[in-house]
Amino acid sequence: MIETTWQDFAITGITILFAVMLVPQLRDVMTRGTVLNFFSALATSLLGYLLALVFATLGLWISVFGQGLVATAWLLLAYFSLRNVREHMFPEETLAFVAVDFFMVWARGVAFIVAGSVKGLFSRIERD
């Protein structure tokens, strides 16, 4: 028999509310062509599954279900967002191509931010 605690029920209730709050966004992505940031949604999903694994190691089995539900919702948001971008911007390409293109844009953005931060740091050091 699975032994549950009040914390297990509380975490499950909160995570299920998170999943319910994602339903309108999921509907928009699936039916209206809305696009979310693919990497944010994917990272949130992967971290959600990792959190479900942590809950499992703590024996919070009901919470594993709730957190898995939220992580799956985020994974679906990532997938349908990527699919919507492909259909509107790259109709002849595969989802993998679009994902790699998104990654390259993201990597350039990160490089730009890091380079600007390093430049700003050296400018401050130089002034002092």
- Global pTM value: 0.80
Average pLDDT, the chain: 91
Describe the crossing of helices 6-31 and 61-89 by its angle, rounded to 10 degrees: 10
| 48-87 confidence digits (pLDDT tens) | 999 999 999 999 999 999 999 999 999 999 999 999 999 9
In the block, residue with structure tokens 């994602």: 22
Can you list the pairs that 100-106 forms with residues at least 24 positions away whose Cβ atoms lie under 8 Å?
Answer: 102/38, 102/39, 103/39, 106/39
DSSP state at residue 92: T
